[in-house]
Amino acid sequence: MTTTYAPTASFRGLKEAGRVAPGRHVLGIVRYTDEPTSPTTDEGHPTIGIQITKSVEEGFAEVWTTGRPVEAGRAGALCYAHDGDFLFCATRIPESDDYVDVTEAAYSEALELTRTLGYPHIYRIWHYISRINEENASGLEVYREFCVGRARTLERHGIAGDMPAATVIGAHGGGIVLYFLASRSGTQVNIDNPRQVPPYHYPSRYGPKAPNFARATHFAHQGGGEQVFVSGTAGILGHHTMHPDDVEAQCRLALDNIAHVIGTRNLSVHGVGPGCTLDDLRAVKVYVRHQADIARVERICREALSPSVDMVFLNADICRSDLLVELEGIVT
């Protein structure tokens, strides 16, 4: 797949985050580091920090760049930048003993911003949530509270199933960081995996309100070029967690799930193509619940993916407490 001027991500050292190739412009910077920071636009683009590593030395920046100059702005708690065709937006919800209303409010603000600025196609969303598997004051798990808040906003806006690819992963502190990409034009197709129940049809045993995201989003940009955004993908078949005590088996299943989602057959069912393979995956983030499992997971991922893949490994909780590993990536 080729990309002309669409936003692309690269992983860099925290200190080199702002240095970009000639002709590229920073649309947004996400710092994966040892402290949370609320978004700012001090450098002419949003910068936000997720607390997800144990030290700043282990940290890195995910730098989103675009082919055109950007304009940055703020709206309430949201920081954003846009280039006429693409919008990057980030926000942080502070640590809270009840995430339902604050999630609903943040999601509503975000949806409203995309409408006000004229970027109605949200095509990829990331969320990092501290204490994700802990019970909050209500007795409900934090992830489940988040799902209730998200569902309320979507219901209010009449959005049933057509959400894009997403990630929800545990942070080590700092509340909820949310960031997303949206587009003014282009053709977005949200893609399911027939091997996995669509999240919005998960039974209520996983929470009072179902999650809502696609397994992948295919995006054909109006100026040419296509990208496939693969959601955080775990060892789930149907709606069941498989191999609950076996991180290696979960990792292989997650990779199989991705291969299936982006393969020729599944993409053609959704009317898009050509299909791709695990070899095409880039900007891969691998989340591993137990630090001690990272080496084993890394071996499996290095074998399955391209030798030239840009890939990072993070020790983080996954949204179901029996999931030990999850991974995401982009075909650009």
Q: Does 39 bind ligand 3EB (CB under 6 A)?
A: no
User: Quick one: 248 or 322, whose CB is closer to ligand 3EB?
Assistant: 322
Q: How many residues bind ligand 3EB (CB under 6 A)?
A: 11
Question: What is the sign of the dihedral through the CA atoms of 81, 182, 85 and 19?
Answer: positive
Task: Give least dist CB 230 to ligand 3EB, A.
Answer: 10
C-alpha angle with apex 196: 180 to 179, nearest 5 degrees? Answer: 10
Beta strand 86-93 pairing with 176-183: antiparallel
Q: Does 207 bind ligand 3EB (CB under 6 A)?
A: no
Residues 6+ apart with CB under 8 A from 152: 100, 104, 209
Of the candidate residues 36, 164, 170, 232, the single one contacting ligand 3EB (CB under 6 A): 232
Q: What burial letters (b/e) apply to 212-240, b meaning 16+ CB within 10 Å? A: bbbbbbbbebeeebbbbbbbbbbbbeeee
Q: Where are the alpha helices (DSSP H) in 157-244?
A: none
Q: Are 178 and 130 in contact (CB under 8 A)?
A: no
Of the candidate residues 7, 46, 186, 199, the single one contacting ligand 3EB (CB under 6 A): 199
Q: Does 33 bind ligand 3EB (CB under 6 A)?
A: no
User: Quick one: 236 or 330, whose CB is closer to ligand 3EB?
Assistant: 236
Whether 104 is a known active-site residue: answer no
Q: How far apart are CA 139 and CA 126, in angstroms?
A: 25
Task: Give least dist CB 241 to ligand 3EB, A.
Answer: 9
Q: How far apart are CA 228 and CA 48, in angstroms?
A: 24
Q: Residue 7, preceding bond cis, omega within 30 degrees?
A: no
User: Quick one: 26 or 169, whose CB is closer to ligand 3EB?
Assistant: 169
Task: Give least dist CB 211 to ligand 3EB, A.
Answer: 3
Task: Give least dist CB 214 to ligand 3EB, A.
Answer: 9
Q: Does 236 bind ligand 3EB (CB under 6 A)?
A: yes
Segment interacting with ligand 3EB, rule: CB under 6 A, options 54-62, 63-71, 187-195, 230-238: 230-238
Q: How far apart are CA 188 and CA 38, in angstroms?
A: 30
| Three-class DSSP category at 42 | coil
Segment interacting with ligand 3EB, rule: CB under 6 A, options 16-24, 83-91, 182-190, 227-235: 227-235
Q: Which residues from 296-315 bind ligand 3EB, rule CB under 6 A? A: none
Instruction: From the candidates 104, 141, 145, 326, give the one annotated as an active-site residue.
Output: 326
Q: Does 324 bind ligand 3EB (CB under 6 A)?
A: no
| Three-class DSSP category at 93 | strand
Task: Give least dist CB 143 to ligand 3EB, A.
Answer: 7
- Nearest residue to ligand 3EB, scored by beta-carbon proximity: 211
Return the structure tokens found at 111. 């949806």
| Three-class DSSP category at 159 | coil
- Name the strand (E) or helix (H) holding 329: strand 325-331
Of the candidate residues 60, 119, 213, 219, the single one contacting ligand 3EB (CB under 6 A): 213
Site string for ligand 3EB, 133-172 (x = CB under 6 A): ---------------------------------xxx----
Segment interacting with ligand 3EB, rule: CB under 6 A, options 10-18, 79-87, 229-237, 280-288: 229-237
Q: Are 5 and 67 in contact (CB under 8 A)?
A: yes
Question: What is the sign of the dihedral through the CA atoms of 259, 264, 265 and 271?
Answer: positive
Q: Which residues bind ligand 3EB (CB under 6 A)?
A: 166-168, 199, 211, 213, 231-232, 234, 236, 319
Residues with active-site annotation: 326
